[in-house]
Amino acid sequence: MEPARLAAHPVGLTGRETASGGTPKPMPQPDNTEERAALDFFARKRYVNRTGEAFSLDIRFAVPSGITILFGASGAGKTTLLGCIAGLAKPEEGRIAVDSRVLFDSVAGIDVDVSRRSVGYVFQDLALFPHLSVERNVRYGLRGLDEAERERRIGEVLESFRIAPLRKRLPGDLSGGERQRVALARSLVTRPAVLLLDEPLSALDPPTKARILDDLRAWNRARRIPILYVTHSREEVFALGDRVLVLERGRVIAQGLPQDVLGAPRQETVAQLAGFENLFDARITAVHDDLGTMTCRLAPGSPAAIDIEVPLARIERSSAVRIGISAGDILLATEEPRGLSARNVLRGTLTTLEERDFKVLVRVDCGVSFAVLLTPGACRSLELAPGCKVWLVLKTHSCHLLRPTDDAASF
């Protein structure tokens, strides 16, 4: 089955006849009383990513119902992972179960056919049928049901995604957001056991994207199915996900709540993906057990080296480390601040200002160069310009000790 056909309807439809003529067994209903694993995934598979590099997918995770973000650079293995769940890619080893129903088990010899997996899959290009109306696009996957049940389901999902007034229109007459709603409605009208979203909202503006996801969450409150959402955007991770899995080269390198994983990264790769603008080589020069801090020297060995305090961690004095600091976590002042709880106040010279969307990226030379994010209003009120003297304020807990991705030790 080619991708265009898969995008046209859910992969494996509950409550309809399959291509072989059988009727799939209904999926067990989720237990609404506790957060238990709704999707249990383990797979190993050799593959070639979009950049032509050969990798080995080796991923194991379990997630409850709700939206889980798959986050990582292009070629990290996100789409291959979705393909293994949908049955479009076959792992060499592994076990995949949705709400206790096994879809694949290499040991038991189970490999459920694509049409029987009850998986909804929305691709980035949506692949709506251009010659079919909204209603007929949504109706496409509903087979094996009487007409009254089909009409009831179609009406329900069109109302849920606010496209009932558009039911007679063709896709070419719809806005981008409306087409996305039709694609979601078409995948969900058959009531899949799991929904896979491969960057389907990437072309939309943030407000439109947020409204669509709000409607999807509202729809899922009653169904409680797991939803995997692929993205490259860190803004989407914070705005959309209940939890996040960070992938790199076919591995899960971090997982948890978005604010824990991306807001306080422990690995340099995660800090880079999260958009940390300030990454420094450093060396531990002192450990202050009584203060709960350590002193780190940035750019050690350089005449311009500076010292900052970072949170206390299990690491030896004189150890070489990497420090990550988000540009949005740094405060800037045009007069020397006093009476602060923050442990790091650095004097420097503003070198450049660069407008980025609704923010301004300011670079300040404090011996080493720091990037600071400000609003245009703040820049105007402070009368910032290249060459002016400024002070940077860094809270200790905004300075994150980072370890390499392949280092299993924790600070």
**Shared domain check, 288 and 261:** no
**Shared domain check, 299 and 178:** no
| Residue closest to 54 by CA, chosen among 324, 250, 188, 237 | 250
**Which of 271, 291, 325 finishes a domain?**
271
- 284 found inside a domain: yes
SS3 273: helix
**Shared domain check, 113 and 174:** yes
Q: Specify the CATH number for the domain of residue 211.
A: 3.40.50.300
- 53 found inside a domain: yes
The domain of 350 spans 276-402
**Shared domain check, 148 and 101:** yes
**Shared domain check, 208 and 322:** no
- 304 found inside a domain: yes
**Shared domain check, 283 and 266:** no
**Which of 219, 252, 271 finishes a domain?**
271
According to DSSP, the β-strands at 344-356 and 389-394 are: antiparallel
**Shared domain check, 16 and 152:** yes
- The C-alpha atoms of residue 308 and residue 338 are separated, in whole angstroms, by 17
**Shared domain check, 240 and 347:** no
**Which of 253, 271, 289 finishes a domain?**
271
Q: Specify the CATH number for the domain of residue 348.
A: 2.40.50.100
**Shared domain check, 303 and 185:** no
- The C-alpha atoms of residue 238 and residue 274 are separated, in whole angstroms, by 10
pTM (predicted TM-score):
0.78
| The two three-digit tokens of residue 403, written as one number | 């370890």
Instruction: For the chain, 411 residues long, give each residue's pLDDT as a single digit of tens.
Output: 333 334 334 443 332 223 333 333 333 333 433 456 799 999 999 977 777 788 899 999 999 999 999 999 888 899 999 999 999 999 999 999 999 899 999 999 999 999 999 999 998 888 899 999 999 999 987 877 889 999 999 999 999 999 999 999 999 999 999 999 999 999 999 999 999 999 888 888 888 888 998 899 899 988 899 999 998 888 788 877 789 999 998 999 999 999 889 888 888 889 988 889 999 999 999 999 999 999 999 988 777 789 999 999 888 888 889 999 999 999 999 999 999 998 899 999 999 999 987 899 999 999 999 999 999 999 999 999 999 999 999 999 999 999 765 554 555
Q: What are phi and psi of 266, to 5 degrees?
A: -115, -5
- 410 found inside a domain: no
**Shared domain check, 351 and 205:** no
- The C-alpha atoms of residue 83 and residue 64 are separated, in whole angstroms, by 19
**Shared domain check, 295 and 199:** no
What value does the CA radius of gyration of the chain take, rounded to a whole number of Å?
25
Q: How many domains does the chain have?
A: 2
- The C-alpha atoms of residue 66 and residue 407 are separated, in whole angstroms, by 31
Return the number of other C-beta atoms located less than 10 Å from residue 390's C-beta.
21
User: Can you give the three-state secondary structure of 132-171, one letter per residue?
Assistant: CCHHHHHHCCCCCCCHHHHHHHHHHHHHHCCCHHHCCCCH
